[in-house]
Each structure stands twice: as C-alpha cells, then as structure tokens.
Amino acid sequence: MLYVDGKWVEEGQAAVNPEDRGYNFGDGIYEVVRIYKGKMYQWDAHLTRLYRSAREIKLELPWSMEELNEIASQLLQKNNISEEDDATLYLQISRGAAPRVHDIPSGIQPVIMAFVRHKARPVADMKKGWTAQLVDDIRWLRCDIKTLNLLGAVLVKQYAKDAGAQESILHRNGTITECSSSNLFAVKNEALYTHPADHLILHGITRQSVIDLAKENGIPVHEKPFDIPFLMQADELFLTSTTAEIMPLISVDGQPIGDGQVGTVVQKLQALFEQHINTNVLV
Ligand code: PDD
C-alpha cells in the first residue's frame, strides 16, 4: 500500500494530478530512508533534513514530525515490513497542484506521497567495490536541497553507466564535489577527506555517520575541498549513501586507485558501521 495525499491506496491505484508541480516542475522535496531488519535508520535526521529542504524552497509543511512519524510507521505496518526485511522508505512532498505558472501560487496545498520497497543490502558489492567515472558537475548551485529536480543527477549517473562504471564522481572546474547519488570520501595517509557540507553537496546522513564514527575511532577527518590530482593519487576512495552504505571505489576512469583493491581504512569503517547499525538500529 502507498500513502498518497492523505489516503492509503493499493499499488497501481495511485493517480497524479496533471497540474501537480512536482510533476510539472520537479517542485518538491524527498527523502530515502533505510530500513534494516524492519527498523528505520536515522529517521529523525531524515525528518530534520526534510524540514530544512522545505524551508529552503519556501514550502511550509502542514504536517508535524509526529504526524510524519505516524505515516511512516503505518506504512511499515500496512506493508507487513517485519524483522526479516531490509527495505527503503521513499517519502516525497510536492508543492501541490495549481494552474501552471512559474511563481509559487498562493494557498496551494502540498501533496505527500510515500511507499516502501524491499531492498537488500549491497553486501557483495561492498566487499569488491565499484568503479567510477569522472564527470562535470552540471547540476545547479543548491545541491544541499533534496529536491525532486534530479535531471542533472540522472544524466551524470547515465554517463557513468554508459562508460561501464557504477557511479560518477562530479567535479566543478576540477574541484571534487560528490557523486550523482552519494557523497565521496578520499583516504590519504589514514585520514579522510571530503567536500564540506555547503551548497554544492547534499548533506548526506550516511556521510555524517561515517564522519562521527571515524572521529570517535581516532581517524582524522578533513572536511575541505580537493582536486582531481588529489583524487587520483588517493590511497583509497569510497562513497556513502543510504542505499549503497559505505562503498569502496577501486578505479576512476579505468585507472586503479591505490593498489586497485578494497583498502584497509574503508574496511575498518565498514566494520564500525556494521557495529553501529547493530547497536543503534536493531535493538
Ligand atoms: N541519494 N548526494 C546525493 C546527490 C544524493 O542523492 C544522496 C542520496 C547522497 C547521500 O545521502 P544519504 O546518505 O543521506 O542517503 C549524497 C538517495 C539515496 C537517492 O536519491 O536515492
């Protein structure tokens, strides 16, 4: 079952208003939340980011955090998500439907939509790593907002896929920002480097968990921009996201990173993350 604009709807029965601004303009926001063994991971952090995205696009959310909590927990119940299940919850809020003009119509009611999908953890991939392709960051200048406008991300991801890689690494004039749907970390001399959480990247929930875990465990973290030569000479690279978790990147544009194997620092972070999930989510 899906939750659509205040109603519970069977799969295949949901309808979109042709003048919904999410549909016409990508005018809306979203979150993707991980469900580990039937339990949501970092739900509060996702809600906080959702409210921030809403504020940044001048969208006033008519739902309290408690109401959104209730929708999410009913969604899990109605879809029989149990302790057996790894899944993702998708929640989107569009600005709503109104005759099509670019400026924001007054009195418009936001439209909420949410569903869950079974999604296995990428266990095998996390052991062997992905390959990546460098590409120009063609997106806009507010990548910190989790907006439905994802065409830039779609095109750069496809660029990587067409080149036979799993993810694209984005750069603006040679400065590395993030990936098409994940954050990027470089490892150099046992320290982590990642772009600061400003307007050029999404402030990833997994990125923050990794930064916290690294610091708690004596791994230095530098949140500062780095360039393409630094990227290519890194000892290790990895990306982070809700669905890909902590994913090693073993080559960029066909050139091996470090010795071209999954590195020891990323393996340590994966182990720490596993422990963290077991103690913080699955209890
Ligand atoms: N993507 N950067 C971008 C551009 C993203 O789209 C995402 C998430 C991330 C990682 O954020 P988090 O750790 O909070 O998932 C970074 C989601 C999963 C998606 O669009 O499917």
pLDDT band at 10 (very low <50, low <70, confident <90, very high): very high
Residue 283 has pLDDT above 60, yes or no: no
Domain segments of the chain as ranges: 2-120, 124-280
92 Cα–ligand 1 center, Å: 14
Confidence band of 281 (pLDDT split at 50, 70, 90): confident
Answer yes or no: is the C-beta of 194 below 6 A from any ligand 1 atom.
Answer: no
pLDDT of res. 279:
85
What's residue 282's pLDDT? 57
How many angstroms separate the alpha carbon of residue 50 from the centre of ligand 1? 13
Which residue lies with its CA nearest to atom 9 of ligand 1?
182
Note the pLDDT tens digit of each residue in 162-183: 999 999 999 999 999 999 999 9
Q: Which residues are catalytic?
A: 146
Residue 117 clears pLDDT 90, i.e. is over it: yes
CATH number of 124-280: 3.20.10.10
Distance CA(193)–CA(59), nearest Å, equals 34
CB of 168 closer than 6 angstroms to any ligand 1 atom: no
CB 183 less than 6 A from any atom of ligand 1: yes
For ligand 1, whether the C-beta of 178 sits within 6 Å is: yes
Looking at residue 280, its pLDDT comes to 77
pLDDT tens for each residue of 120-135:
999 999 999 999 999 9
List own/partner pairs for 138-144 with CB under 8 A and 24 or more apart.
139/170, 141/199, 141/200, 142/56, 142/199, 143/177, 143/178, 143/199, 143/200, 143/201, 143/202, 144/56, 144/197, 144/198, 144/199, 144/200, 144/201, 144/202, 144/203
Report how far ligand 1's centroid is from the alpha carbon of 113 (Å).
18
Q: Specify the ligand 1 atom closest to the Cα of 42.
A: 14
Q: Separation of 31 CA from ligand 1 center, angstroms?
A: 8
Q: Which CATH class is domain 2-120?
A: alpha beta
Ligand 1 atom nearest 46 alpha carbon: 14
What value does the mean pLDDT take over residues 219-233? 98
**Mean per-residue pLDDT of the chain:** 97
Q: What is the pTM of this model?
A: 0.97
The pLDDT-based confidence of 144 (bands split at 50, 70, 90) is very high
Section 244-271 average pLDDT: 98
